[in-house]
């Protein structure tokens, strides 16, 4: 697999640094897992290789993660939380709930273009791990509630709205990661989602086409 996108790699490093000794070892193992997966691919990567890359014994690795699946799920969860926080920080200065929703959607879809292999890994783990999905969805939920409060969104059911948000975004990410998406797919999907949340076609298209703020780690 290719390296993590630079912005995500920098945010991941910053978010997994410091803390008590056990936490530092835990982070060290996650860093090693990224290195080994990048070098050898997910299927070929072994627990022994991760332990060696981390400079610890295999017993130490198994003390933190009982199986390779547990390690991969934890890695995906940390990467997902790191990405969500970086995206959220990038638009912290924006007060419009609709624009915040569009930025989040477009950033996730663009990740799929920047790093399709890692995107597919995250999507697969999200499907298998409700906890990872719950971690991610707290961010669009906050923007959804803000948009409703601002009367930008009109939704009959918050749960149905979250399903629309998740469904459109994850399917768009998968389509882009597989190389099957047309140009400006991020904008088209963001506009469609805003319309599903109650905005007019013209307003949704205008909001979805606004310039993206840079990710914090992009400088």
Same domain, 65 and 121: no
User: Considering only CA atoms, which of 133, 1, 129 is closest in space to residue 73?
Assistant: 129
Please check the confidence at residue 24 and state whether its pLDDT lies above 70.
Answer: yes
Does residue 37 belong to any structural domain of this protein? yes
- The alpha-carbon radius of gyration of the chain (Å, integer) is 18
Same domain, 51 and 119: no
Same domain, 148 and 64: no
CATH number of the domain within which 50 lies: 1.10.10.60
Lowest mean pLDDT, pick from 24-33, 87-96, 195-204? 24-33
Please check the confidence at residue 160 and state whether its pLDDT lies above 50.
Answer: yes
Per DSSP, helices labelled H in the chain are 6-15, 21-40, 47-54, 58-64, 68-90, 97-114, 116-128, 130-149, 158-177, 185-196, 201-208
pLDDT band (50, 70, 90) for residue 20: low
> Could you give phi then psi for residue 43, rounded to 5 degrees?
-65, -40
Please check the confidence at residue 9 and state whether its pLDDT lies above 50.
Answer: yes
Same domain, 206 and 113: yes
Same domain, 66 and 82: no
Same domain, 96 and 203: yes
Does residue 31 belong to any structural domain of this protein? yes
Farthest-apart Cα atoms in the chain, separation: 59
Does residue 219 belong to any structural domain of this protein? no
Overall average pLDDT of the 46-66 stretch = 95
User: Considering only CA atoms, which of 50, 178, 179 is closest in space to residue 124?
Assistant: 178
Does residue 98 belong to any structural domain of this protein? yes
Same domain, 27 and 57: yes
Q: What is the pLDDT of residues 113-137, one digit of tens each?
A: 988 988 887 787 777 777 778 888 9
Sequence-distant (6+) residues with CB within 8 A of 34 are 4, 12, 75
The boundaries of the domain holding residue 21 are 6-71
Total domain count, the chain: 2
Full-prediction pTM beyond 0.75? yes
Does residue 169 belong to any structural domain of this protein? yes
* DSSP assignment of 3-30: PPPHHHHHHHHHHT--SSHHHHHHHHHH
Give me the pLDDT at residue 156, please.
94
Q: Are 59 and 29 in contact (CB under 8 A)?
A: no
Sequence-distant (6+) residues with CB within 8 A of 158 are 141, 144, 145
Q: Are 24 and 18 in contact (CB under 8 A)?
A: yes
CATH number of the domain within which 150 lies: 1.10.357.10
Q: What is the pLDDT of residues 163-179, one digit of tens each?
A: 999 999 999 999 999 99
Same domain, 83 and 61: no
Q: What angle do CA 90, 95, 96 make, to 5 degrees?
A: 105
Please check the confidence at residue 158 and state whether its pLDDT lies above 50.
Answer: yes
Same domain, 201 and 119: yes
- How many whole angstroms separate alpha carbon 45 and alpha carbon 166? 30
pLDDT band (50, 70, 90) for residue 99: very high
- How many whole angstroms separate alpha carbon 45 and alpha carbon 47? 7
Does residue 189 belong to any structural domain of this protein? yes
Give me the pLDDT at residue 103, please.
97
Task: Name the helix (H) or strand (E) containing 129.
Answer: none
Give me the pLDDT at residue 219, please.
40
Does residue 175 belong to any structural domain of this protein? yes
Same domain, 60 and 164: no
Average pLDDT, rounded, for the chain: 88
């Amino acid at each position: 697999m290719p390296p993590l996108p630079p912005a995500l790699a920098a945010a991941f490093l910053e978010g997994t640094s410091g803390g008590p000794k056990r936490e530092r070892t835990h982070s060290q193992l996650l860093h090693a897992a990224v290195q080994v997966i990048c070098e050898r691919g997910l299927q070929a990567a072994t627990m022994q290789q991760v332990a060696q890359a981390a400079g610890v014994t295999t017993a130490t690795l198994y003390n933190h993660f009982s199986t390779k699946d547990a390690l991969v799920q934890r890695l995906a969860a940390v990467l997902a939380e790191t990405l969500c926080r970086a995206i959220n920080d990038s638009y912290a200065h924006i007060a419009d709930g609709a624009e915040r929703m569009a930025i989040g959607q477009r950033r996730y879809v663009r990740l799929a273009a920047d790093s399709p292999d890692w995107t597919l890994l995250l999507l697969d783990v999200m499907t298998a791990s409700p906890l990872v999905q719950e971690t991610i969805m707290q961010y669009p939920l906050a923007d959804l509630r803000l948009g409703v409060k601002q009367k930008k969104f009109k939704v009959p059911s918050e749960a149905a709205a979250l399903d629309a948000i998740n469904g459109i975004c994850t399917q768009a990410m998968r389509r882009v990661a597989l190389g099957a998406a047309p140009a400006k797919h991020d904008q088209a999907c963001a506009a469609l989602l805003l319309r599903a949340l109650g905005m007019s076609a013209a307003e949704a298209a205008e909001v979805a086409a606004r310039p993206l703020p840079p990710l914090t780690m992009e400088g």
